[in-house]
Amino acid sequence: MAAQSLVEMLSLTPSGPDSFIGHARNPGKSRIFGEAVVAQCLLAAYETVEGRLCHSLHCYFIHPGDPAEPIRFEVTRTRDGGAFATRHIAAIQSGKTILEMLASFQRPAAGYEHQMPLPGAIPPEQLVDDDPRGEYVGIQLRNVEVPRPGHDPVARPPCHQMWFRSERPLGTDIRHHQAALACASDFAQLPVIIQPHPVSWSTPGFQCTSLDHAIWFHRPLDFTQWHLCDMDTPSSSGERGLSRSTIYAQDGTLVATVTQEALIRMRRDTAPPQPAAKDTA
């Protein structure tokens, strides 16, 4: 698996009109890595679009996927306009939809330009690779700060930075670079949501899982080059937390914005008992 490129890992096989089969393997895990399915949904949609590039996608994680089973991707051609096209994509396993996406595509166009500047960050050449558990197959990443260990319940500031890129060539087709970024865009979203809170993955009863994910592609990108993912978490409430990321090429070009909402809660049956209320009668 480690020898495969992301293009090979995410490849799809046609199985009928606007229908495709793929796999999103996650070695050693009982569930599919969700962003691999997001990337494959995007690639399935691209198979039904000509002359346009994806500028945004929005998806919901509905059911956990089984990495041992193939996934069927069904694309609905919702709209084909003059400049824009819209596609609905359903990822299905065993007759059950595990993820739904709505993606929009636009013909290349020139217009007004502005962007936020590249934030300060230690350059990737001064950092070391960071993937101690070998989870990020096909992606090379370097954290600007050492992430909080999975068992460390100490609260930290609500922000994080990391550099990432594809480990192997992606070719010249922009769809593969967008799909690779989509696949990598989830890596630190959940950890950054957890950072402001005194809990960890190993806290008994703690639950944190992705609910939805959105990406806006602002400009073309070459994901074989280093990109800075600058993240923060502006809010957690109602058992939900939000992360947002701006992704920059190393030359300062803002190429994408990512948001993700997650379930973040302590299961009530394992939560520590609360102190009794004072009797004010």
Same structural domain, 260 and 127: yes
Residue 56's CB is within 10 A of a number of other CB atoms, namely 16
> How far apart are alpha carbons 250 and 141 in whole angstroms?
14
- Please tell me the predicted confidence (pLDDT) of residue 280: 40
> How far apart are alpha carbons 128 and 143 in whole angstroms?
8
Write the CATH number for 73.
3.10.129.10
Residue 122's CB is within 10 A of a number of other CB atoms, namely 14
- Please tell me the predicted confidence (pLDDT) of residue 1: 36
In a domain, 275, yes or no: no
Residues of the chain with pLDDT under 70: 1-4, 25-30, 132-136, 148-151, 269-281
pLDDT tens digit sequence for 20-65? 999 876 656 667 878 889 999 999 999 999 999 999 999 999 999 9
End-to-end CA gap in the chain: 67
Same structural domain, 130 and 103: no
Same structural domain, 127 and 239: yes
Six-digit token string for 164: 């990432």
Q: Which of 74, 108, 142 is the last residue of a domain?
A: 108
> How far apart are alpha carbons 133 and 135 in whole angstroms?
5
Same structural domain, 104 and 127: no
- Please tell me the predicted confidence (pLDDT) of residue 273: 45
Q: From residue 212, how far is each of 59, 102, 236, 243, 245 by CA, in Å? A: 6, 12, 15, 11, 14
- Please tell me the predicted confidence (pLDDT) of residue 137: 72
- Please tell me the predicted confidence (pLDDT) of residue 142: 94
- Please tell me the predicted confidence (pLDDT) of residue 8: 84
Same structural domain, 30 and 54: yes
Same structural domain, 157 and 244: yes
Residue range(s) defining the domain that contains residue 41: 1-108
- In the chain the beta strands, taken as DSSP E runs, fall at 13-16, 19-22, 53-61, 71-80, 84-93, 96-106, 139-143, 159-166, 206-217, 227-237, 240-249, 254-266
Could you give the dihedral angle defined by the CA atoms of residues 238, 216, 228 and 180, in that order, rounded to the nearest 10 degrees? 100
User: How many domains would you assign to the chain?
Assistant: 2
- Please tell me the predicted confidence (pLDDT) of residue 275: 45
Same structural domain, 129 and 249: yes
Output the CA torsion sign for 189, 191, 192, 194: positive
